[in-house]
Structure formats: structure tokens, C-alpha cells
Structure 1
Amino acid sequence: MSDAAQLVRRGIGHSTNLVGRPSEWLASCAFNETSVPLHIWGVTEMNPSLFTMLDQAEHLGEAGQAFSTYMMAMFGLDPEQRAAPARGERRFRASFLRLIQGWGFDSNGPEGAVLKGWVESRFGFGPSYHKEIIERVASRAWTTYVEEKMSSRFHTNAIWVQLDLLFEFCQWAIRRFAFPGETHLTLHRGINSFDEHWILERTTRREAVIRLNNLVSFSSDRDAAGCFGDMILTARIPVSKIVFFNDLLSSHALKGEGEYLVIGGDYRVSVNYV
């Protein structure tokens, strides 16, 4: 195996993060098979009024409305920001809503780079793919990713703080309304090849350990996942690694049916053909 391949298999990461867990462990199968909760330092402590409002909600829809109201007040996120501005109009403030929308169209676009950059910053491990395989820091692929993740077009208005709040709200909603008592969800991902995924270990003919990108889409609907490729990866995803899911907010859902945004790493998956 080449040195470059070894680097990809090991992954590009940092020794520090904002969740208080070793980054290498966070990216490992060992973590993904546990039920350890994750919290970004300081988010709940710095936003007590948000979580006070959420605790008063009687259902997920009401909680989503409270979250949206809080984000609009804190970051000036007007409803009109759900659509891109026309030429000649003022530029809207950077919004987590725009990032989620952009991800739905193209996870390898600039919005995807910002989201992957947030995962790198908060959880300590970088993407393994953005437009092409990222083999090492000193590479064209890494440079492209960094340029896009730091673009002023999206990287304003405390965008990573917005994403911190989104993650903490998602985790709160999972515990309170969406999947109370659950530690893992069985989710599916359709692919056409393993070009974007490294097979770390082939355990059986239809089971393997693979390295997923640091942020990746899954679906709770196996048939919907099959629309995106000839092979379906099925994995048990710890709920602590779910960043966003289709029903979290009543407006601005992801384009895919039953879609989830999941923090990646090394996962044990089954591989089946459509």
C-alpha cells in the first residue's frame, strides 16, 4: 500500500475538537457501535433561553417553530433566505438553511465544503472526499476543499455557531420527540461504486468496514436510497452522530425522502444490490 493510501485509510484529523472525545475514537467503528452522547462545548450554556422555550414544546412541530424563531432573532434569518437572491438584490446573510439546501443539490459544492469544514472543526476529523479523494493535506483536493469551506459567500454571520445550535437542537429533538430511548437507527445509502469510500476490511461477501466521508447522507427509506445507486449500504448509525433529518423542521426539508445528515467515519455496513 502506498503512503498516500495509508494516509487516506487513517484519515486527516486533529488532536483537539469541541466535543471532549478523542477525534480518532470518534471516527472509529468502536465509537459508532456505542451509545455515547455528544455535545458541543458551551452551546446549551450560552443559549439558555432557547432550551427553555424548547422544554415547553408539546410536540416536534412546536419545538421546530421555537427553534426557527430563535434563529431568526439571533442571526437575522428572514424566511426569504430559503431562496437564493436574484441578480442585483442584496446578498442575504449566511444561513444554515441555505447550506442544507445546497447540500441537497450537490454535497460536493461550496455549501457541502462549509458543512464538512464544520464537522472537521467541531469533531476533529476532516473529509476524505470533496470532488475527489483527499489523500493528504498537501494536495490539490485539500486546497480546493479549504478554499470552498472558507469562502466569504457562506462563511459569514457566525455560520458555524448556527450549525452548533442546529446540532444541539437535533440531539435534543431526538431524545425528546423523534427517537426517545433509541441509541442507533438503521439507515441506508445508495452508491454506484466505492470510489468515494475506502474498504478497510471485508468481513464477509456482503459485509465490510468502510470509511465514510466526515459528513454523509443516509435515508430511512431503503427504496429511496436505491434511487441513488445500484448498491445499498445499510448501517446502524448512532443517534449522537445525526446532524439533521428531514422531519426536524417543518420548512426547508432535505430534498430526499427520509434523508439524514450523518457524521461519518468507519462504519460496519452490509452491502446489497438493488
Structure 2
Amino acid sequence: MKEADPGKRRGIGHSTNLVGRSSEWLASCAFNDAPAPLHIWGVREMNPSLFAMLDQARDMAEAGDAFFCYMTAMFALDPEQRDPSRGGKRRYQSSFLRLIQGWNFDSNTPEGAVLKGWVESRFGLGPSFHKEIIEQVSSPAWAAYVEEKMSSRFHNNAIWVQLDLLFEFCQWAAARFSFPGQTHLTLYRGVNAFDDHWIVERPDRREAVIRLNNLVSFSSDREVAGCFGDKILTARVPVAKLVFFDGLLPSHVLRSEREYLAIGGDYRVSVEYV
């Protein structure tokens, strides 16, 4: 796909969201150049005991354990807290862990659709890709995405509220322990068929502005990123856009290959050929 004509391809989004920032601005390079803090309305206010407990943590490991214990108690995430009231066959409650594990396996799974749907709901940015390019709400691609993001097997346990808490914990942890004082991280993403992506600007062969999906994976390790494509994109990712990063949770809970999940939109990237 050649350079996008801004007048013809604007993306799918909402004029309202739950972070009090313009969705159009959130998706722009202007936000990435000079990011502002992002907080989902009411999450910290409705969970004061969590953040009081986190404030007592001495390091990231203690904070991660405290967060996981809170989520386990609130949403019955461990096997011992399966719902016994149903009788007969018991089932596990839906959890943010399952969604991230599904995303790590393939971002185009139903788990990936639920995560993209959460970004759409909270930040007002619709996905540009789920199994195929999504350009308009009247397309079969959009209908297939909506069907998967609303799958009942993932919405039986306030799953979007779980993701709200994950985002707020991620932002708290980034500021307190992991990236204090930092506004950006240099991260990498491996891609194939670069010209098939939504290229907003291409001033030269090694620089571009590219529209990434509303939720996108990066790696902090260039070599790991190189395993996923013959071209490596290097981007300055705002810490304010992080949803998840390697080391956020206890290592026995969830393993990721130095993966970072971030809110997408337009990113200035350098393009290196492996």
C-alpha cells in the first residue's frame, strides 16, 4: 500500500473516550512527541486500597506480587476460587492473564480482539487490522472483529475493568519503579511486507510515519524484534501509552519475551533492513 491520503483514510475511532484526551490527538505524532499523562476515569478512585497497598511496596517485585494478589481476590483468578454456586462442572473466570497470553501467541485471536475492543472503548481508537485490514464499519472485517471482541466467554468477569486496573498499575509502576522520570522508551518491532502497512509519510527509504494498530507489540531487544520480520522499526514510544511491559508482573505468573504492549496510532519510525 502506498502513502495514505489523509483525506481518504482517516481510521475508525470515537469522539469520546474515558481518558479525557482527544482521540485524534492520542493517535497523532504530536501526542507521541509531547505526551501527556493518561488515566482512565475513576479507576484509582474506585480502588484506593490497591494503590495504598502499592505505595508500601519497596521494589517492583513486591508491587507486582501485591497487584496480582489484589486481582486474584477481586476477580477469583485462581483455581480455588472458581464459582461453586453453579454446581456440576466448574469453570475458570475470565482473566486479563488469559488475554495477554492469547495475544502473545497471536494478536489476531479472539483474545486479541477483546484487547483491541478495550482500547477502542477506553481510548477511542478503533483497530486498523484484525486478521485483515479494517477500513470502515460497514466491512465484513469490522463485523468479524466485533463478533470476536464481544465473545461471551471473555466477558463473564468484568474483563474490561480488569484491563483498566492493569493499565493503571502499569502507569503507576512505570513512574514509581521501572521508568521514573522518563517520557519515552526506544523500542523495536519486526515487520514483513512493510509497504503493505498504512504509511502516512515516507520522506526517505529509512524514515517513515506509519499508522500502527490501536494496540501494538514492541520489544526492548532489537534481536528479538528481528525474529518477527525482515525489517525492524525503531520507535520512541511514550511511557504514557504503555499497557504492559516485561517485568510488570511476577515471573511465575506470565512470561513475555521482553514484550511491551502500547496504544497505537501514528508513529515516527526508522526502518532498518535485516
Q: Tell whether the structures are fold-level matches, with TM greater than 0.5.
A: yes
The alignment partner of 2:265 has SS state of strand
Query: Do 2:215 and 2:261's aligned partners in 1 also have CA atoms closer than 8 Å?
Result: yes
Q: Report the TM-score when normalising by structure 2.
A: 0.92
The 5-angstrom pairing of residues 173-252 of structure 1 reads 173-194=173-194, 197-250=197-250, 251-252=252-253
Q: Give the match for residue 159 of structure 1.
A: 159
Aligned equivalent of 1:11: 11
Q: Distance in 1 between matches of 2:143 and 2:118?
A: 16
* Amino acid across the alignment from 1:270: S
| Structure 1 pair 196–252 and aligned structure 2 pair: CA distance change class (3 A) | farther
**CA distances 1:227-247 after superposition (whole Å, capped 9, x unpaired):** 000000000000000000121
TM-score by length of 1: 0.92
Give, as a single letter, the amino acid of the residue that structure 1 aligns with 2:135. Answer: E
Q: Is the 8 A contact 1:129 1:196 kept in 2?
A: no
Is the Cα contact below 8 Å between 1:246 and 1:253 reproduced in 2?
Answer: no
**What one-letter code is carried by the residue in structure 2 that aligns with 1:162?**
Q
Which runs of structure 2 are paired with 1:140-151 in the superposition (5 Å)?
A: 140-151=140-151
1:137–1:63 CA distance, 2 compared to 1 (3 A): same
- Provide the rounded CA distance (Å) in 2 between the counterparts of 1:110 and 1:266: 24
1:258 deviation in Å? 1.1
Q: Which residue of 1 aligns with 2:84?
A: none
Deviations 1:105-137 (A, max 9, x none): 010000000000000000001000000000100
| Counterpart position of 2:85 | none
Change (3 A) 1:6 1:79: farther
8 Å Cα contact 2:194-2:231 kept in structure 1: no
Q: Over residues 205-259 of structure 1, what are the superposed CA-to-partner deviations in whole Å (9 max), with x where a residue is unaligned? A: 200000000001000000000000000000000000000012100133344x211
Report the number of matched residues: 265
CA contact (8 A) 1:8 1:135 kept: no
State the alpha-carbon separation in 2 of the partners of residues 91 and 209 from structure 1: 45
Q: State the secondary structure of the residue aligned to 2:36.
A: coil
Q: Tell me the SS of whatever aligns to 2:237.
A: strand
Tell me the amino acid that sits aligned with residue 24 of structure 1.
E
- In structure 2, the residue matched to 1:44 is 44
Gaps of 5+ in 2: 82-87
Unaligned stretches of 5+ residues in structure 1: 82-87
2:218, 2:259 within 8 Å by CA — same for their partners in 1?
yes
Q: How far does the alpha carbon of each residue in 1:4-48 deviate from its partner, in whole angstroms, 9 at most, with x for none?
A: 976873110001000000100000010011131100000000000
Question: Distance in 2 between the 1:172 and 1:44 partners?
Answer: 10
Describe the shift of the 1:121–1:144 C-alpha distance in structure 2 as closer, same or farther (beyond 3 A): same
The one-letter code sitting in structure 1 at the alignment partner of 2:273 is Y
Provide the residue aligned with 1:72 in structure 2: 72
SS at the partner of 1:271?
strand
Identical pairs, percent: 77
Counterpart in 2 of 1:266? 266
The amino acid of 1:42's aligned partner reads G
Aligned to 2:30: 30
List 4+ stretches of structure 1 deviating above 2 A.
4-9, 88-91, 194-197, 251-255
**Residue 116 of structure 2 corresponds to which residue in structure 1?**
116
The one-letter amino acid of 1:119's match is V
Matched to 1:122, the amino acid is R
